[in-house]
């Protein structure tokens, strides 16, 4: 079964954590909401590297 849950495409930039929605746009910032099929913390997450870099920048 296909999930209709979407996640804010810009959450890494706009929010502290993924913002999930059933709409096609983020209710918080208005950015596009994309299919959230890959788990946010999946080791194969294509955004993992970017997220780690972002976190490192916050700590630095």
Residues that bind Zn ion in the complex, under the rule CB under 5 A: 8, 14, 19, 26, 28-29, 31
CB of 52 to Zn ion, least distance (A): 20
Contacts of 10 (CB under 8 A, 6+ apart): 26, 29, 31, 32
CB of 22 to Zn ion, least distance (A): 14
CB of 1 to Zn ion, least distance (A): 25
* DSSP per position, 3-25: ---EEETTHHHH-SS--EESSSB
Nearer to Zn ion, 31 or 38 (CB): 31
């Amino acid at each position: 079964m296909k999930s209709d849950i979407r996640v804010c495409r810009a959450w890494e930039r706009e929010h502290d954590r993924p913002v999930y929605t059933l709409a096609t746009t983020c209710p918080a910032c208005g950015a596009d909401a994309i299919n959230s099929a890959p788990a946010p913390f999946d080791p194969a997450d294509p955004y993992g590297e970017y997220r780690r870099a972002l976190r490192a920048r916050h700590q630095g």
